[in-house]
Amino acid sequence: MLKKYNYCTLFDSNYLTRGLAMYESLNKYSDNFHLYIFAFDDRSCELLKRLGLKYATIVSLLEFEDEELLKIKKERTAGEYCWTCTPSVIKYSIERYNLDNCTYLDADLYFFSNPSVLIDEMKDKSVLITEHRYTPAYDQSTSSGKYCVQFMTFKNNPDGMKVLDWWQQACNEWCYDRFEDGKFGDQKYLDDWMSRFDCVHELQNLGGGVAPWNIQQYNFKTENGKVVGTEKANNNRFELVFYHFHALKLLNYNKVELGVYTLDKQDVNILYKEYISELSNVSLDVKRFEPNFDYNGTVNVSSNWRSMLTRFKRHIKGNYNVYDVEKLKGL
**The pLDDT of residue 239 is above 80:** yes
For the stretch 107-153, pLDDT in tens is 999 999 999 999 999 999 999 999 999 999 999 999 999 999 999 99
Please give the share of the chain, as a percent, with pLDDT higher than 90.
Answer: 88
pLDDT at 253: 84
Mean local confidence (pLDDT), 211-239: 97
Domain contains 310? yes
Domain contains 303? yes
Domain of 190, CATH number, reads 3.90.550.10
The answer to whether residues 84 and 153 belong to one domain is yes
Q: Which domain holds residue 274?
A: 248-329
Q: pLDDT grade, residue 292 (50/70/90)?
A: very high
**The pLDDT of residue 250 is above 50:** yes
Residues 6+ away with beta carbon under 8 Å from 178? 184
Q: pLDDT grade, residue 3 (50/70/90)?
A: confident
Domain contains 59? yes
Q: 323, 163, 329, 170: which is closest to 253 by C-alpha?
A: 323
The answer to whether residues 168 and 60 belong to one domain is yes
pTM, rounded to two decimals: 0.95
Domain contains 24? yes
Instruction: Give the number of domains in the chain.
Output: 2
Distances (CA, A) of 252 to 203, 215, 294: 38, 27, 11
pLDDT at 305: 44
